[in-house]
Amino acid sequence: MTDTTGMTEQARVREVGRARTRKEDARLVTGQTTWTDNMSAPGLLHVAILRSPMAHARITRVDATPALEREGVVAVFTGRDLAEGLGSLPCAWQVTEDMVLPDHPPLAVDEVRYVGDPVAVVVARDRYAAADALEDVWVDYEPLPPVMDLEAALADGAPLVHAHKGTNHCYTWPLVSGDYESARAAADIVVRRRHHQQRLIPNAMEPRACMVVPVPATGEYTLYSATQIPHILRIMMALTTGIPEQKLRVVAPDVGGGFGSKLQVYGEDAIMLALARALGQPVKWTESRSESYQAQHHGRGQIQDIELAATSDGRLLGMKADILADMGAYLMIITPGVPLLGAFMYPGIYKMDAYDFHCTGVFTTRTPTDAYRGAGRPEATFAIERTMDELAAELGLDPLELRRRNWIRHEEFPFTTVAGLTYDSGNYAAATDRAVALFGYQDLRAEQRARHANADPVRLGIGISTYTEMCGLAPSRILGSLRYAAGGWEAASIRVLATGKVEVITGTSPHGQGHVTAWSQIAADALGVPFEDVEVMHGDTRVAPQGMDTYGSRSLVVGGIAVHEAALKVVAKARKLAAHLLEASEDDLDFADGVFTVRGSPEASKTIQEIAFAAFAAHDMPEGMEPTLNAEHLVDPENFSYPHGTHLCAVEVDTETGAVAIRSYVCVDDVGRVVNPMIVEGQVHGGVAQGIAQALYEEAVYDEAGNLVSGTMADYLVPAAPDLPDLVTDRTETPSTSNPLGVKGVGEAGTIASTPAVVNAIMDALRPLGVHDVRMPCTPERIWRAVRDAAHDKAENSRKGDAS
Amino acid sequence: MATTPMPRASSARIHVNVDGVDHLDEVEPRLLLIHYLRDRLDRTGTPIGCDTGNCGACTVDLDGVSVKSCQVLAVQADGCRVTTIQGLAGPDGAWHPLQKAFHEQHALQCGYCTPGMIMAARDLLRETPDPTPEQVRDALEGNLCRCTGYQNIVRAVLAAAAELRRQGAPEPRGQAADVPQASGQEAPA
Amino acid sequence: MIPAKFDYARPQSAEEAVQVLAEAGPEAKVLAGGQSLMPMLRLRLSFPELLVDVGGVESLRGVREQGRELIVGAMTTHHDVIRDPRVRMHAGLLAQAAATVADPAVRHRGTLGGSLAHADPAGDLPAVCLALDATMVALGPQGYRSVPAADFFVDYLQTALRSDELLIEIRLPMLGDWGFHYEKFHRTAQAWAVVGVAAAVRRERDGGGIAEARIGLVNMGPRPMRAHLTETALAGADATEEAIGRAATMAAEGAHPPTDLSGSAEYREHLTRVLTRRAVLAATGAAAAGAV
């Protein structure tokens, strides 16, 4: 892991595959950052937002006069004040023809539908004055019934979130393949389980912020926003505010994490643009953490009824999945589509004949849900991997053995699954064998048996998760077929400057993933230039005008490939010019380490830097060639890529208190070819941490009245360093065949894999005690209750047995 | 002394040294130290991550000990020296061993928690120059990171500790950092 | 979030502080280390008109011995309590429990007196001081007043302190030859104790049975409480797992624990019994060895 350039007389070391330390770090470790809240502008005004304290209510009166009379207050706007200039916030995914899509005003006008729904905004000269004035905006609410339970919400006569829509049913989306009923009829065993995917709060460390700087004379606006999606945001803001797209520049400065929470078109972005337009002055809003818990979308929030039909020797015949998905109060950018991203992954890595999936979206009076790390795929993977363990237990098979009997074998790729996806490559046996070896599987099993035999109050459990996921959103034609509004291509352009240095412009929008480093590695290899000579620019629609941004483990697979292909175009152009200048045929030129050489006459050569200058000077160009050495490339992938892996988790469960301690955790991931192993490992670490957090700690808890009870960071348990284990990580490498670099994507893998590994381990520890399920998060109390109830049932049964 | 009425002020004059520079300012008593640093002094290297003192992103050094600057009033820093992430590098711009180690061990991704993490780790290493991995985890319990899962952060702190020991004895502060353990070591008869 | 406006006073002596409190009346609030008050101000759950910052009162900091008592100044930080050799020798339970409070940065600011005056039943230190039979010394316009810990914690976030009184110091009987253990059960490192059990045990001189035990419970009601029935059962009991286990089954008697996000009342009662057994076992082991 050295950091030397590798540019010596010897052959250049390939950059792709090196554990390069990150170019991004220098500013971040010294505090020379540009978080949105760091920014200012002449005449900047500060905005605070008044939010509904009620889950559901009619707004009968808003009186802002007292606030306006406060010192430092410039203006107060209500939903009605802004209604004229602002359209509904967009949902880009009409998943079915008849999907119910309610209006979503950025500021509530007549009705509030969740605690945190914005009601009024105060503009003041400093943030303290703005915060104070919120207390002097008086709103009268007429309470309406909250809608909190997914199943009750669908019942006849249930109170409605959107009364004028006449239903809380948003949509039902089916995916049916093969004949599940026949599979079920033919099965020796059918395992049916209900899983709850609790609501989660993404908790990127940087809360959201946005600032708008207008130029009233020209009608231009620059929106600085803590966002993952500056390009999509620009289009959506143009549509929502009516500001012409060409007059709107969106900048994502340093962004402190996203995990999907900043893959959103938030009302605050639209409100800030409207305020800047109304006041002709720059405005800024920064949310507090507690505000963010209500204002940023949540993740997960599903009830899954899962059925697996199998033969007595453990061969899967079919799977049925009925999903209820909590939309929350409104549909945001891809709210209804999140379960669809999972729909194709419920069969996991397994072969089966029939698959019957239905998902129903339900409105509730809670903060809207949307993408959170994994977005649909963690839910799917949890469902299949948890239920596979249950099936193994019922069949009396080792859960690893059951998986082996059903997974797609290496030689069967490419393999079209029952859900209709074609997995390009994979080697599940190799990853599993490696994980088992690192884990000490058999020794742990022996210890587990010993503890059980001794009735040890601290039990040992082993959890398995053999996952795959689809990465690289996405082939545009597939998105189109799923009725998503946009495509999934990505753009890159490369400029080799007059001095031979390189600028890479990417349409991805990193916020911690290390694209600047990884894209430099890719470009350096393709162009044969030093890593240090490459600068990567992103996240500003004026600098990187085209792009589809960063989410869904797509950036490397789509954006990285675009960089690679753009670099190849640069080389192709340079080759033409080199041939011209060297008076040789293009076919006679070798290109290696940044140098074109005429085959057979090594003294006749040109470096790519020399070619760049020649192209800049443009004194002597081939017929028809344009000056400068630039190229642009847009990639629209043909297929997804399918990383996979095997995660093994050992837990110790204190049956007296219900406490769980992770004793060891092994992950062997196959993410195809790796550009930077250090960055990949970091992604796995962080992903696993978030998955463990879902299994053990986190939940957005609401009370019956619709209040978010876990409303601050003191109540919502984001794990700290002592709460998480050291992971043993390793990789197998099965290149993807979907793209020329053979890369697959890694951003969500850990999160997808780890949650079922942990819960399976807990269940494995407790199953001998008669425990069949514990809901997530598996809190000590839930575990203690499950153990106690099982003991009670056992005693009851043996009493009955004695009596008979 | 206690006989003259105590003044109660709605504003206060404070004198604070931040990263080696003296500042004299008139502030509202309620002004948080972090807002003073960020909004008044433009020392934006230290970010804000929460409102309950949980996340630790805003950790700075106040007169030799780590504090969460969103939980301290600017008036409470009157007469104090504040060191932020922006004041850590040497006069020649050379990074502190922790800054170097965080970079080399890939102990940051988005980097938002990094200033606080580094300041908290620095506090640990002054008291405990040769910590165990467990001590590092415990010392960072007040600093949340959502990207790294902490593993590389622990690795970086241990690497920086080794480097600091190699460079010579770190500045001593206070007593040994070990914390009293349960006094019961053996089970009773 | 940003605190609402308040006035500010920074007295230089305890007398000054009391004077300003007396002048201001009940709308004044004492700022010690800010560990609990600052989040409440930021979330606007507390709106004092006047904040009396006693951070400048040097006489409130530090630890000293007086006769058979250890005296800890109210403004002594957790950080200093944990590291003070006298506390560790004579009131090791306090040092051990203080080390579990919040995190290092908060422990640099948060104070023992602040934690006691805030009287959050989920806080670790009120129950510890209750178990140690501490005495709180307050200064008011009429002078000093001593309040035993048993009378100090009145209700949820309420103490016997009057609005014009300032907590000056905490007097702790020296229990150097007692064994101790603080057993804190929380869901994450940062989370409040679901339940905590602070146990101090004195063994018979011959290292035999248990002579006396004191057990304080965290988060088992609106105020910290003692597990009196268990204490009684332990007095004179054998120092065996069986006897201790039996006594621990009574630990939650008389408790009125809350049901909240981190646990139900029923679970807390169960935990109390388990943790009391563990805490007393640990504390008893030490007493047998006679070491601290």
In tens, the pLDDT along C266-291 reads 999 999 999 999 999 999 985 544 33
User: How do residues A632-661 score in pLDDT, each as one tens digit?
Assistant: 999 999 999 999 999 999 999 999 999 999
CB contact under 8 A, B111 and A28: yes
For residue B187, name the pLDDT band (cuts at 50, 70, 90): very low
Chain A CB contacts of B110 under 8 Å are 204-206, 255-257, 511-512
Q: What is the pLDDT of residue C222?
A: 97
Query: What interface predicted TM-score (ipTM) does this complex get?
Result: 0.96
Average pLDDT, rounded, for chain C:
95
Angstroms from A196 CA to nearest CA on chain B: 23
User: How do residues A38-55 score in pLDDT, each as one tens digit?
Assistant: 999 999 999 999 999 999
Pick C188's closest partner by Cβ from A656, A697, A712.
A697
Record the tokens describing residue A778, joined without a space. 């598996």
Please name the residues between 117 and 156 in chain A that touch chain B, using a CB distance below 8 Å.
Answer: 126-128
For residue B184, name the pLDDT band (cuts at 50, 70, 90): very low
Q: Which residues contact B144 (CB under 8 A, 6 or more apart)?
A: A203, A205, A713, A718, A720, B49, B54, B55, B56, B57, B113, C190
Rounded percentage of chain B residues whose pLDDT exceeds 70: 86
Res A464 pLDDT > 70: yes
Question: In the predicted model, what is the mean pLDDT of residues A718-740?
Answer: 97
Q: What is the pLDDT of residue C292?
A: 33
Q: How far apart are CA C24 and CA C31, in angstroms?
A: 14
User: How do residues A439-450 score in pLDDT, each as one tens digit?
Assistant: 999 999 999 999
Angstroms from C254 CA to nearest CA on chain B: 27
Q: How far apart are CA B43 and CA B29, in angstroms?
A: 20
Q: How far apart are CA C34 and CA C16, in angstroms?
A: 20
Instruction: Annotate A48-61 with DSSP letters as a single string.
Output: EEEE-SSSSEEEEE
Record the tokens describing residue A137, joined without a space. 């905006």
**Helix or strand holding residue A646 (H, E):** strand A644-654
Res C45 pLDDT > 60: yes
Question: In the predicted model, what is the mean pLDDT of residues C124-147?
Answer: 98
Q: What is the pLDDT of residue A801?
A: 75
Question: In the predicted model, what is the mean pLDDT of residues B161-188?
Answer: 58
Of residues A565, A471, A557, A551, the one with CA closest to residue A510: A551
Q: What is the pLDDT of residue C108?
A: 98
The one-letter code for the residue type at C175 is L
Query: For strand A660-670 and strand A728-731, is the pairing parallel, antiparallel, or unpaired?
Result: parallel
The one-letter code for the residue type at C2 is I
For residue B1, name the pLDDT band (cuts at 50, 70, 90): very low
For residue A13, name the pLDDT band (cuts at 50, 70, 90): confident
Q: How far apart are CA A260 and CA A297, in angstroms?
A: 9
Res B105 pLDDT > 60: yes
For residue A474, name the pLDDT band (cuts at 50, 70, 90): confident
In sequence order, the β-bridge partners of residue B139 are none
Res B175 pLDDT > 50: no
Record the tokens describing residue C145, joined without a space. 């007043």
Question: Which whole-number Å values give the CA distances from A470 to A377, A586, A644, A766, in the listed order?
Answer: 8, 40, 9, 32
Q: What is the pLDDT of residue C207?
A: 73
CB contact under 8 A, C5 and A722: no
Pick B66's closest partner by Cβ from C15, C18, C108.
C108
Q: Which residues contact B103 (CB under 8 A, 6 or more apart)?
A: A21, A22, A25, A26, A29, B95
Angle among Cα A400, A402, A405 to the nearest 5 degrees reads: 110
Res B27 pLDDT > 80: yes
User: How do residues A211-260 score in pLDDT, each as one tens digit?
Assistant: 999 999 999 999 999 999 999 999 999 999 999 999 999 999 999 999 99
Other beta carbons within 10 angstroms of residue C44's beta carbon come to 16
Of residues B145, B154, B150, B183, the one with CA closest to residue B56: B145
CB contact under 8 A, A717 and C39: no
> What residue in C sits closest to A702 (Cα-Cα)?
C261
Rounded percentage of chain A residues whose pLDDT exceeds 90: 96
Interface probe for A, chosen from B71, B150, B157 (most Cβ of A below 10 Å), is B150
For residue C176, name the pLDDT band (cuts at 50, 70, 90): confident
Rounded percentage of chain A residues whose pLDDT exceeds 70: 98
Question: In the predicted model, what is the mean pLDDT of residues C72-87?
Answer: 98
Average pLDDT, rounded, for chain A:
96
Question: In the predicted model, what is the mean pLDDT of residues C88-105?
Answer: 97
Res A353 pLDDT > 50: yes
**Helix or strand holding residue A609 (H, E):** helix A608-617
Q: What is the pLDDT of residue B182?
A: 46
Asked whether A37 and A94 are in contact (CB, 8 A), the reply is: no
Q: How far apart are CA C82 and CA C94, in angstroms?
A: 8
CB contact under 8 A, C7 and B29: yes
Q: What is the pLDDT of residue B174?
A: 39
Asked whether B127 and B174 are in contact (CB, 8 A), the reply is: yes
